Structure formats: C-alpha cells, structure tokens
Amino acid sequence: MIKKFDYMTAYSRNLGWVSEWEQYILKHKKIAIAGLGGVGGIHLLTLCRLGITKFNIADPDTFGIENINRQIGACMSSVGKSKSSVLEKQALDINPQLTINKYAAIDKNNVTEFLDGVDLYIDGIDIFCPDVRELIFNTCTKKSIPAITAGPLGMGSSFMIFMPGEMTFSDYFCFNNSSFEMKMLKFMVGLSPKAPHVNYLVERDRVDIKAKKGPSTIMACQLCAGIAATESLKVLLQRGKIYSAPYIHCYDAYLNKYYRTKVRFGNKGLLQRLKLFVLKRMLKNIAAENNNTENKGKTTKLGGIEQIIELARYAPSGDNCQPWRFSIISDSSFKINFTISEKDDVYNHAGIPNCLALGCLLETIKIAATGQKKLATWNYKKLSSKTALVDIHLEDTPSISKSDLYDFIKLRSVNRDPYKYHTLSENTLKTLSKSVDDNFMLMWMNSLKQRRSMISLNLLASEIRLTIPETYPIHKSIVHFDNYNADGIPIAATGLSHFSQTLMKWAIKKWSRIKFLNKYLFATLSVKLELDIIPGIFSSSYCILMTEKPHKKLTLDQQHQRAILVGMQFQRLWLTATRIGLVLQPNYTPITFSYYHNTNKKFTVDDRALKKSAVLAEKIQLLFPDKDVLMIARIGLPRSRKKQVRSLRLSLDELILK
C-alpha cells in the first residue's frame, strides 16, 4: 500500500482520456474560484481530482445547517466554520501537494491580485451577488483570462464560457448601471433563456428575492461541477470545440434534455428583453403571494402547547369553518371551545359534520403531541345544543415515539382536480385500511363501473346543492375570490375552470343570476362535469368509511360521539394517504342530503330537491345494504406535485382566547 503521495500514481486513472503529457500540463495550471458554496466547493474538489494543483479561492462566508442539502463542505462538524478553510482542508486531503491561496471577500482592491497568474476563472458566486460577479468577469476580460459560469437550476445546469477576444460578460448580460434587482434578473434570463426548470418548480413561493433565498438541489450542483471541469479541460488543453458566448448550454437531468442556444445580441435582443419583462412580472406576483400567506402575523415564539395548537389548526373542517377556539390553562392542559352548530346551515345537519371536524382536530392534537413525547387525552362535555367544551390533558410519556404522520399534518389538503388514471396496489390498499380501527371498515370502489355509481351519487347531490335557495347564502359567504382569506374556500381551490370561476364571480352576487344560469344556460351541467364527472373518472378509487347499521336508532348525542370517532379515523386515513404520496377529496354531500330524507327532515322549500334526496338515499341503500355510510372520499395519485391553492387557517392569535 502506497502511503506517500505520488502525483502520477494518484491520477493514473485519468490517463487514456488525457495523455500523460496533458496530465502534466493540467498539473501546472492555475485556476481561480470565487464562491465556495453550492457549486464553488464542488468545483474545487472536482478539479483537484482532475489533477489541477494551483488554486486561488475566495469566500467570506461560514457554513450553516441550511447549506447541508447541496454544499459539499457542509456537514454538522463544519457548521459555523469558514467555507474556504473547510474546503482547503478537504482539497489538501485529496492532494497534499496543492498550492492554495485563500481570499475573503473579493472587491476592487484585491481582484487583480486574486486573478494574477490565473489560467482560468470559474464562477461560484451566489446569484444574489451580481456586483462582485460583474467585477470579476470584467477583470478577466481585461486580463484575457477565460471564464466559465455554470448555474445550478432545478435539477440541471446552465453554463457559459467567455473566451478572450470574443463576446464579453458585459456585452452579453448588459448589467450597465442597472439596479441590484435588475442585474440579478438579467443574469437569470441571460444564463437560462429557455428556463426549462420552471416546468417542474412545484412550490414557486419558495423563491423569495427579498430574503435572498431560493430552492436548490445537490444534483444540479454536481452536474455544474462535472460540466465546468469538462469545459475547463478543453480550455486548458486547447482541445475540442468550445461554444463560447453568445452560446448558452443547458442540460436538464429531470427533463432528460440538452439545449444549446445562440443568443446573438445577448440581453440587448428584443426576445431577451421580453423574457426579462415576463420574469419580472412573475417574481412580482410571487412576492405578492408571499406577502399574503397564512403565516403573516403568526406568533413567532411558541410554547409547548402553542406548538401543538399551531399544528392542530391545520385540521380539516366543513367549508373551512374552523368551529373551535382554544384556551390555554396550564403547561399541560388547554380547552377547546367547540361550536356544534351556530346558525342554519343545510350542510351542517344536526351538527354532525362539525363533530366530524372535531374528531379530525382531536386526532391531529394526538399526533402533534407525539412530537413532544406527550400523550394527549380529552374529556368532551356538551354545554348546550349548540356548544361543547373539550378538556385536553397532556402527559409526559417518554416511551412515545414521534408519529410517522406528524410531518404531514400541514401538508394534507383537499385536491379537487382530476387525478392520474392509476390503480392502487394491494399493498397501498392494505396500508390505508390499517389506518382505521377494527370497528370501522373501508370499502374500495376501484373499477370504472363502481366509480360511475359513485359519480351518480355526487351528481344527484350537486343537483340539489346547486339549485336550492338554502345553500346560496352559504356559498356566497364561504367562497372567496382573492385566495387569501383565512376562512372559507378560495375559488382557485374549488376545481372549477377559469371560465367557470369568472362566471361564478358574477353570478354569486345575486340569487336571481344563479337561477338564470341554471335555467337558461345549464350552468349546473358544466359545474357537474368539472367537479363530479371528470374528477370521478380520473381517480384511482372511491373510499367508503362505514360501520354495520346499529340495532337501534342512535340519539343525537350518540350520533355526535360517533361522528367524533369517525373524524379521528378519517384524519388518520387522510394523513396516511398523504404520507404515501396520494391525494384525497371528501365527498360528504350525498350523506348530508340522504340524512335529511332518512330522518324525515325538510331541508328545502324545493319539492324537486326533496324527491332527489329520496332517490339519493335509496341509491346509497342499494349500494351499501345493512351499512351505515359515514364518509365518502375520492382518492388517487395527483397529476402534478405543484403546490395547490388551499384553504388557509386563522392565526394562533385569532384562535387562542386571551
């Protein structure tokens, strides 16, 4: 075993792709790298393994835990340490014969020294530092130094090579005297004119220009390093064709595509200026969205109980009504002030749907408490026909492990879009079925025929809810058109097309408009097509949560108690589906309208709707004889992982009573 470092032994496996002569040429080349974060650190280590032995490196920053996802030098042992020192140590561990000169921040006072005697400059500067990048590239131009920039974009890399005597960085990007923001945008548009990575950006609100933050991946950084090292070899050995600026190269591993584009006039070109305008508008919209999130004004420092309530507030409730408020009593107890029913609401029949929501809340509290190794227990006390009080007690239980559903509490949401035409595997169905207790059962309606029978139930329920006057004031109060209300449902989350949303915005202002559309323009037909038929066909299954029919009729209090248990089962099912990558949409209105028929309660002045509720109840009975259907849900694999518009929640300050 060789213990002493020998250059040609260490790099002998390069030979074949490079000649021995070329390897020695590489050994004596000097490369400058500014920025040792996402890409710069990997550039350094990759070039060390290529056989380069002389480096000038620069980075004034230290590693943070937020760098671990992508920066090669970021480990728990290096958090808080200088990036240049950590990378220098790693590089010398590869080749102890390296010559490395370290610099902190690069500015006009030391940029000439930083690039002195350098054969090639490789850019690792953060995208949010356009002035330093411009300074270094302009100095490279003056000193006739080739320069490479490779930007990690999504799960790919866009890169450019600037060669002496050819198009310069300044001529291409046209920073001139632009503002900081405009320089950054020009660099983004110039480096990736096609921007293929935008097609799979699933949460665009993670792009926060104001906070100088954006999403990144290790795959992109490693691709950048491989590409930059390859181009470095070609430049340093003067071998192979180099497509320098105004050519831009982009390889996207996620899309399996390579682009090479010649942007002849750089950012001066009309098309580039148009793209710059579009990008500026897009980022402005993202900034507006970031300023209107449910986190705005949220309590920042949370105690133990507040942390549990912070998660619990994401529990689902009918029409996002959130019929609860919280009172903190001590470090180990709090109360839920619960509204069973507050007003005439045809959807909240006898308060049962609100009790279902309470069950979802209690299960969420139970799961959230496991994150603090606490066991949550509760006592339900009905105060009146309209209100109840739930005492929550938290007991320290070291043996409790954090629930595997904990991480998905905030991520669970309703998805009303069509899903992939995807069959659920036996293992998936088994996993979902295990999420409910033994005294409940899940029935799966998987085949197209079975799903069509469920679609027919939803169509009948939709015909009722869209045409009776009793639901109109409810729809008018809960549907919001700005997407930022912390109660109700944003219109963009309803599953309606843009045309239907626009029509609804006009029609919902007056009941007479709704009646006109229903009578003369068959509005219910288009809505049912968009919300019931197409989503019903494009789904994996309908899931029916049920029990055996009770031997005797349950009292209203017993129905409420059972609804709480059902809500707990359903929340576990929903979170389990979220954990394994599925989405879900509750379909509760068929149960609501059949309930009214089964209990002989008149819920509308519309006699036709009453007859339809009878037909609905009969269909449910025929489909599920001798069973009590407690919850219906559509389930499947989403067509897109892009962040959906979802119902927001009231803040802790609004939910916790002082």
d(CA 658, CA 650): 15
Under the banding of pLDDT at 50, 70 and 90, the label for residue 1 is: low
More confident site: 616 or 177: 616
Return phi, psi of residue 627, to 5°.
-125, 145
Region 265-289 average pLDDT: 85
**What is 293-325 written as a DSSP string?**
STTTT--SS--HHHHHHHHHTTS--GGG---EE
pLDDT of residue 30: 97
For the chain, the domains span: 18-290, 304-655
Q: Which DSSP symbol is given to 67?
A: G
Look-up of token digits 């009729």: 553
Torsion of CA 403, 405, 410, 416, to 10 degrees: -170
Q: Which of 20-24, 295-299, 301-305 has the lowest mean pLDDT?
A: 295-299
Q: In the chain, how many H helices and how many E strands?
A: 23, 18
Q: What is the pLDDT of residues 338-394, one digit of tens each?
A: 999 977 789 999 999 999 999 999 999 999 999 999 999 999 999 999 999 999 999
Q: What is the pLDDT of residues 197-223, one digit of tens each?
A: 988 998 887 887 777 788 999 999 999
Look-up of token digits 């099912």: 573
Region 270-274 average pLDDT: 91
Burial class (CB in 10 A: 0-12, 13-18, 19+), 492: middle
Residue 335's H or E segment, with its range, is: strand 333-339
* Residue 448 CB neighbour total at 10 angstroms: 12
**What is 576-643 written as a DSSP string?**
HHHHTT-EEEE--HHHHHHHHHHTT----S-HHHHHHHHHHHHHHHHHSTTEEEEEEEEEE-BS--SP
Give, to the nearest 10 degrees, the angle between helix 180-191 and helix 270-290: 120
d(CA 542, CA 536): 8
More confident site: 286 or 218: 218
Q: CB under 8 Å to 70, separation ≥6 — which residues?
A: 38, 152, 216, 217, 218, 220, 221
Burial class (CB in 10 A: 0-12, 13-18, 19+), 337: middle
Average pLDDT value for the chain: 92
Residue 68's H or E segment, with its range, is: none
pLDDT of residue 300: 52
Residue 247's H or E segment, with its range, is: strand 247-252
User: Interior CA angle at 228 toward 225 and 232, to 5°?
Assistant: 135
Could you tell me which of 293, 246, 619 has the C-alpha nearest to residue 452? Answer: 619
8 Å CB contact between 144 and 211:
no
Q: CB under 8 Å to 194, separation ≥6 — which residues?
A: 250, 259, 261
C-alpha distance across the termini of the chain, in Å:
72
d(CA 377, CA 391): 8
Residue 2 confidence (pLDDT) above 80: no
Residue 658 confidence (pLDDT) above 90: no
pLDDT of residue 608: 94
Return phi, psi of residue 26, to 5°.
-60, -40
d(CA 172, CA 629): 66
Q: How many CA atoms lie within 13 A of 133 on its CB side?
A: 27
Look-up of token digits 């929640």: 649
Share of the chain above pLDDT 90, in %: 80
Amino acid found at 25? I
CATH number, domain 304-655, options 3.40.50.300, 3.60.21.10, 3.40.109.10, 3.40.190.10: 3.40.109.10
pLDDT of residue 253: 96
Torsion of CA 361, 364, 365, 371, to 10 degrees: -170
Residue 297 confidence (pLDDT) above 80: no
d(CA 396, CA 178): 58
Give, to the nearest 10 degrees, the angle between helix 352-370 and helix 304-312: 140
Burial class (CB in 10 A: 0-12, 13-18, 19+), 599: exposed
Q: Which of 281-290, 367-376, 410-419, 526-535 has the lowest mean pLDDT?
A: 281-290
The model's pTM: 0.85
Residue 295 confidence (pLDDT) above 50: no
Architecture of domain 18-290: 3-Layer(aba) Sandwich (3.40)
Region 384-407 average pLDDT: 95
Per-residue 3-state assignment (H helix, E strand, C coil) for 579-597: HCCCEEEECCHHHHHHHHH
pLDDT of residue 298: 45
Q: What is the pLDDT of residues 499-536, one digit of tens each?
A: 889 989 999 999 999 988 887 777 788 889 999 999 99
Q: Which DSSP symbol is given to 63?
A: B
Torsion of CA 196, 200, 203, 207, to 10 degrees: -20
Per-residue 3-state assignment (H helix, E strand, C coil) for 181-219: HHHHHHHHHHHCCCCHHHHHCCCHHHCECCCCECCCCHH
Look-up of token digits 């669970």: 412
Q: What is the pLDDT of residues 141-153, one digit of tens each?
A: 999 999 999 999 9
* Residue 184 CB neighbour total at 10 angstroms: 21
Amino acid found at 459? L
Q: What is the pLDDT of residues 228-240, one digit of tens each?
A: 999 999 999 999 9
Q: Which residues of 283-302 are buried (b: 16+ CB within 10 A; e: fewer)?
A: beebeeebeeebeeeeeeee
Q: What is the pLDDT of residues 623-639, one digit of tens each?
A: 999 899 999 999 999 99
